[in-house]
Amino acid sequence: MPYRSRVPAVARAIQALEHLAAAQQPVALSALSRAIDVRPSSLLAILTTLAGAGLVSRSPRDGRYLPGPGLVALGTAAAQRLEPLHTFDLMAADLVEQLGETVLLWVQQGDGLALAAARDGTQPLRYVPPLGLRLPATGFPSHAQHGVVEGELEPAVWMLGASLDERAMLAVVGPAGRLRGAAGAHARRTLSAVAGGEGAWPGSGPIGPSELDAFLSQALVASLSYLSDDGYPASVPLWYDWDGHTFWLIPSPGAEWAGHVRRNPRVSLAVSESTPPLRRVLARGPMSSTADDFDAGQWRTVEGRLAARYARLDAARLLEGRRGQSRILLRLVPEQLIAWRGLLRPVAPAYSASGRRVG
């Protein structure tokens, strides 16, 4: 094989990373050397280089090697650019709810497929995939039917797979007795519908209640628009809590926007994402204060949810900013809510927070 298409040192480094990722525990240098057939001296140089980049860690207790934190950053960056990952959670949640089996996302890697994401099933004897699982180009599937390929992933473990695009495959995995042959007919139809057949996830269109709740449960920043005293529209970025019916907001001490909203409560609130599938939500209605929350129970509930969701973004600011402030809690029950996926302009009717179509 030409040097340009396969640099030996790089290939060995990849082998080492893949083996460490697949191992369920730290691996000694000698064991890793035997597993990937690389001399210990050469392997030590490779591992030292990888450790310097944070891609490999070495246990100070016994000198064994394991994947490093730098792989998390690389994985996160890759995930942000891998379109199927943006919809996997929703598709997987739908499949687990309907079938109860484990759901996997495979992406093309070299001449095979690599496991990119997994959602555990709820059925007894559910399949739990090992870290670093690879699917070779040969040996699977055993046959294909109605756009769904299937075959034995491991002894007694059967997999049904359907392509999402030319580089990714959505799969349902479980005991052969539940997924193979006539027993798996319902699973095949369901997987085909979710992955790309009739009833599949469209590129653009309205968001239903379950997808809306899943989208708004993320640590996203909302933009609240209101009228200032001089009559000009203004907007401010805010953290929010959504309970499936109401948006809850806690203004920071001295927040100017809170005073404007008290004088003119008609507001709109927008939440959007900048990566596929490009979902966005626009809610309009009057903002009100929870003056009836005398014991501050609702305030504490909302504050706890905000802390849990946004602490990883700016924990110090969250805790410091709330300390000693008055317990002001604002709520927006949308009179109109538009929830959409994709770039095309929404033309369908808007929905109220309860899911009822409005105007």
DSSP assignment of 9-44 equals: HHHHHHHHHHHHHH-SS-B-HHHHHHHHT--HHHHH
Q: Cα–Cα distance between 179 and 296 in angstroms, integer?
A: 51
Contact status, residue 353 vs residue 333, Cβ threshold 8 Å: yes
Distance CA 268, CA 326 (A): 24
Measure the CA–CA gap between 52 and 20, rounded to whole angstroms.
16
Cα–Cα distances (Å) from 18 to 184, 193, 268, in that order, read 32, 33, 49
What's the pLDDT score for residue 199? Answer: 41
The reported pTM is 0.45
Query: Helix and strand tally (H, E) in the chain?
Result: 10, 20
Structure tokens at 351: 């929905």
In order of their start, the domains of the chain are: 3-73 (1.10.10.10), 82-201 (3.30.450.40), 206-358 (2.30.110.10)
Quote the pLDDT of residue 238. Answer: 92
Contact 311, 290 (CB under 8 A): no
CA distance 117 to 63: 30
pLDDT at 17: 86
Return phi, psi of residue 229, to 5°.
Answer: -65, -25
Given a contact cutoff of 8 angstroms between Cβ atoms, the answer to whether 327 and 296 are in contact is yes
Angle at 71 between CA 68 and CA 77, to 5 degrees: 155
Place of tokens 């709109």: 268
**What 3-state class would DSSP assign to 280?**
strand
* The predicted structure's pLDDT at residue 198: 43
Indicate the length of the chain as a whole number. 359
DSSP 323: T
Radius of gyration of the chain (CA): 25
pLDDT of residue 348: 47
**337 neighbors 273 (Cβ within 8 angstroms):** no
The tokens describing 96, both together, are 């687990």
At 52 the three-state DSSP class reads: helix
On the CB side of 342, CA atoms within 13 Å amount to 11
Token pair 């709810």 is at which residue? 97
pLDDT of the residue at 349: 45
What torsion, rounded to 10 degrees, do the Cα atoms 40, 45, 50, 52 define?
A: 130
List CB contacts of 257: < 8 A, sequence separation 6 or more.
224, 226, 234, 236, 251
Q: Strand pairing partners for 65? A: 27, 58
CA dihedral 94, 213, 344, 222 (to 10 degrees): -150
Q: What residue ranges of the chain have pLDDT lower than 50?
A: 1, 3, 197-202, 315, 318-319, 321, 347-349, 353-359
Exposure string (b/e) for 164-202, b if CB count within 10 Å is 16 or more? Answer: beeebbbbbbbbbebbbeeebeebbebbbbbbbeeeebe
Burial (CB count <10 Å: 0-12, 13-18, 19+), residue 2 = exposed
